[in-house]
Amino acid sequence: MKLGVLDIGGIEDAILMAPLAERLGYARYWLAEHQPQPSPVLLASIIASQTEHIRVGTAGVLLHYHPPIRTAHDFHLLERAFTGRIDAGFCGGTTSNPVLVEGDRDGRDLDAVLDAYPERARRFVRQLRNTQASPAFDPSVAWPEVGMEPPQIWSLGGGGRSSELAAELGLGLGYALMFAANRDEPDAVRRYRERFVPHRDRAEPAVIVAVAGVCGETDEAARQSAAAWTNAVFQPRILGGPATCAAALAALGERYGADEIVFVALVRAHDERARCYELLADAWGLGRPG
């Protein structure tokens, strides 16, 4: 089972952290979106340019705030520039900031915006897959690139809607466990696997579980660091020294049948976050021969 990084921090921190994650042997670097930050697609382009082989993507684009076709074109450009390394992750989350909610609605009824999400997601996925490599390529709505395949596409969330879309459309599923409101429900992933409809760019289901926590030098050090984290939105489900965290992640991955886990380090200081990922990489055996 592979291990990756989910970044919920600032732009400058991500630019420093992603090359470190690559050197440590992490498989991918996912960037969360939290309005009113700049587009995570733009940040992904910067991160990809600062690294060489680690996969880079969004976890995920808040599709309520992004035009599906235009955003798909942006991912096409990223895939062309960094072929084989880009993950196009999307989700149906919203911001809790009332000013942003009102401004981004553009006069639209909020319930209608939320209800439109599944079809908005389907249009986004159709456009991502509309490349010249596809037998159904439509040049009237795509930026043509000869032979280009789409990026990997991931439906992200912690509920039935995201897993149902992933199964219906033949996408990878990113199951979110990092938020306090998320339910620890392996059955949702089981249902996704049972209902998965293969597509030409993904023949088999794939699951990445996103989880938050703190990996410290010792169990006690991790508990002290976690106590200083005051953002109640995120829940540290994995907590302890390197061996404790590695064992807990392995058990979590086994329960979900996960192909990979992306880990969110819930510490604020860059040096402490970097040390957390270093300790976890060593305990997991990343970068070791064999």
Residue 289 lies in a domain: no
Digit-coded pLDDT (tens) for 147-187: 789 999 999 999 888 999 999 999 999 999 999 989 999 99
Residue 240 lies in a domain: yes
Q: Name the one residue in this structure whose structure tokens are 């459309």.
A: 169
How much is the pLDDT for 288? 64
Digit-coded pLDDT (tens) for 10-41: 889 999 999 999 999 999 999 998 766 788 99
Distance CA 104, CA 102 (A): 6
How much is the pLDDT for 218? 98
Residue 118 lies in a domain: yes
- Alpha helix positions (H), the chain: 11-24, 40-49, 68-81, 98-105, 110-115, 117-128, 160-169, 186-195, 219-227, 242-256, 270-284
Distance CA 17, CA 209 (A): 20
- Residue-wise over 109-135: b if at least 16 C-beta within 10 A, else e? eeeebeebbeebbebbbbbbbbbeebe
How much is the pLDDT for 107? 61
How much is the pLDDT for 93? 77
- Taking the alpha carbons at both ends of the chain, their separation in whole angstroms is 13
How much is the pLDDT for 148? 83
The answer to whether the beta carbons of residues 177 and 229 sit under 8 Å apart is: no
Residue 181 lies in a domain: yes
CATH number of the domain to which 245 belongs: 3.20.20.30
The answer to whether the beta carbons of residues 95 and 102 sit under 8 Å apart is: no
- Quick one: 146 exposed, middle or buried, by C-beta within 10 A (0-12, 13-18, 19+)? exposed
**Residues in the chain, pLDDT under 50:** 290
How much is the pLDDT for 258? 98
Number of structural domains found in the chain: 1
Q: Which of 30, 72, 36 is nearest to 54 (CA)?
A: 30
Residue 43 lies in a domain: yes
Residue 290 lies in a domain: no
How much is the pLDDT for 290? 45
How much is the pLDDT for 109? 66
The total of other beta-carbon atoms located within 10 Å of residue 230's CB is 6
How much is the pLDDT for 37? 74
The answer to whether the beta carbons of residues 55 and 3 sit under 8 Å apart is: no
39: domain range? 2-284
